[in-house]
């Protein structure tokens, strides 16, 4: 049952594309991707876990093969992401599940946990932040936009949307960049180049401040519910730095934190090692 299938779900009229693998009777695992990627970032991880778990990896709204409605008809916020993904899990019958969260997937998945803690069996966070300790200086231009959403500050953020910036995200902090396949980054750049995608992404940069505002609520959830928690972290991530991973242990002393000598997109170089960590943690 390690074969991956590619499906779409009708979520109240919104098309969500997703990858699925594993036996439907196995423990459920929801994979949530980040910027600027899509479910394809899990292409190497899924086959390594599908013999033990029923896995689904949806593309977030505006990403990958999921619908990207016009900004006039859909507000690109993390609250709306969480609402769509929550309904997606209900539509496909994911009632209780573990979540693997990365980058944008973290504030999306943590919102699901806040709303329905009884549905979450465990959390794996791969460079998925919930602490201001974890925000590097790389966030400075984005924070400037939060404080003053002027046209000039918004325009400055387009530098994050260039093909060169995507390649940098994939290779920065990787000891040997030749080990990083160009396929994922090229596909991300294809999606970023679609008409209207740039403004969608700029809207999300602006709304990321809502995630920081929720950090205390996420932390209270960790303290109160203490879900089984595994942080698997690319230690050379230029955006989400190691103190953010260590901080999970403040609120959930049983959290397990593991670092890998790689960058932001840790699965590009360490899918096998991360899969082994997950299997040991969730067995």
User: pLDDT digit string (tens) for 164-206?
Assistant: 999 999 999 999 999 999 999 999 999 999 999 999 999 999 9
Inside any domain, residue 36: yes
Residue range 95-109: average pLDDT?
A: 98
pLDDT digits (tens, 9 = 90+) for 205-222: 999 999 999 999 999 999
Name the pLDDT band for 283 (thresholds 50, 70, 90): confident
Is 95 a domain residue?
yes
Residue 272 lies in a domain: yes
Structural domain contains residue 148: no
φ/ψ bin of 219: left (φ > 0), alpha (ψ from -120 to 50), beta (otherwise): alpha
Q: Residue 225's domain spans which residues?
A: 4-138+210-282
Concerning whether 172 is annotated as a catalytic residue, the answer is no
Q: Is residue 174 part of a domain?
A: no
Smallest CA-to-CA distance from 231 within 110, 142, 118, 139 is with: 110
Which CATH number characterizes residue 216's domain? 3.40.50.1820
Q: Is the pLDDT of residue 252 over 90?
A: yes
pLDDT at 1: 55
Neighbouring residues of 179: CB distance < 8 A, sequence distance ≥ 6: 268, 269
227 φ/ψ angles, rounded to the nearest 5 degrees: -65, 150
| Entry pTM | 0.97
Domain count, the chain: 1
Question: Given 33, 54, 172, 264, which residue is catalytic?
Answer: 264
Q: Are strands 229-234 and 120-125 parallel, antiparallel or unpaired?
A: parallel
DSSP bridge partners of 199: none
Mean of pLDDT values over 59-68: 98
């Amino acid at each position: 049952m390690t074969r991956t299938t590619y499906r779409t779900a009708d979520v109240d009229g919104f098309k969500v594309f997703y990858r699925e693998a594993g036996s439907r009777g196995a423990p459920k695992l929801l994979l949530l991707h980040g910027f600027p990627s899509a479910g394809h970032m899990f292409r190497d991880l899924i086959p390594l876990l599908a013999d033990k778990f029923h896995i689904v990896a949806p593309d977030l709204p505006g990403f990958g093969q999921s619908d990207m409605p016009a900004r006039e008809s859909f507000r690109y916020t993390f609250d709306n992401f969480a609402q769509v993904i929550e309904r997606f899990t209900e539509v496909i019958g994911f009632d209780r599940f573990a979540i693997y969260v990365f980058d944008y997937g973290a504030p999306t998945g943590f919102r699901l946990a806040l709303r329905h803690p009884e549905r979450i069996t465990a959390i794996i966070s791969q460079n998925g932040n919930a602490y201001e300790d974890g925000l590097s200086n790389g966030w400075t231009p984005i924070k400037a936009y939060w404080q003053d959403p002027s046209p000039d500050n918004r325009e400055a953020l387009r530098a994050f949307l260039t093909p060169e910036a995507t390649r940098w995200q994939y290779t920065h902090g990787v000891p040997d960049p030749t080990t990083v396949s160009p396929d994922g980054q090229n596909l991300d750049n294809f999606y970023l180049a679609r008409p209207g995608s740039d403004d969608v992404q700029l809207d999300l940069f602006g709304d990321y401040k809502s995630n920081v505002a929720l950090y205390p609520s996420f932390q209270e959830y960790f303290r109160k519910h203490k879900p089984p928690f595994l942080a698997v972290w690319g230690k050379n991530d230029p955006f989400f730095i190691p103190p953010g991973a260590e901080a999970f242990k403040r609120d959930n002393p049983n959290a397990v934190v593991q670092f890998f000598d790689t960058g932001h997109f840790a699965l590009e170089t360490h899918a096998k090692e991360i899969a082994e960590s997950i299997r040991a943690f969730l067995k």
